[in-house]
Structure 1
């Protein structure tokens, strides 16, 4: 099981990820697209990196908006795995 990050470590990593915020035991990113097809296309691009990492985000699609939330459920909070995948997701257009 991955080790939980300290609040200081979480804030340090969030400072490097301008599009992510913390909500309790989750980090969250909201992405907006031209329309629904573009939002779904973006979500489809998340499948391979998530599978490769063995770590899967919680996803919410509402027309042109995708909300991505991550936590390490097995560890009970935020771990390095969440931030590694967040960096990968942030690089996906």
Structure 2
């Protein structure tokens, strides 16, 4: 997983250890239960800072009590190492705020 433009195989995605993320088409998707709009906004701000630092920007849905995150490298046409790295940063941001992911499987 060194070339940031190279699409990842399903095995590489599985091996990335992203337990709270699932593949939906050409994207990684996760949802986090925030229990309040204010806490969700705080998470969105942290995700935004990580995204800016990585120069890789997710789709984010903020609702009362939840934040949905979708990661895809549109320029590469699917999931790349950039998505895996940002997913890990999102997980770290959520954990730092005591926010748990919702497993929708």
TM-score by length of 1: 0.91
Q: Determine the C-alpha separation between the residues in 2 that align with 1:75 and 1:7.
A: 16
Gap runs ≥5 in structure 2: 98-105
5 Å matches for 1:8-87?
Answer: 8-13=11-16, 16-87=17-88
Gap runs ≥5 in structure 1: none
Q: Determine the C-alpha separation between the residues in 1 that align with 2:14 and 2:19.
A: 11
Between Structure 1 and Structure 2, how many residues are aligned? 91
2:6 maps to: 3
Displacement after TM superposition at 1:64 (Å): 1.1
SS of alignment partner, residue 67 of structure 2: strand
Runs of 4+ in 1 over 2 A off after TM superposition: none
Aligned CA-pair RMSD:
1.2
1:89 maps to: 90
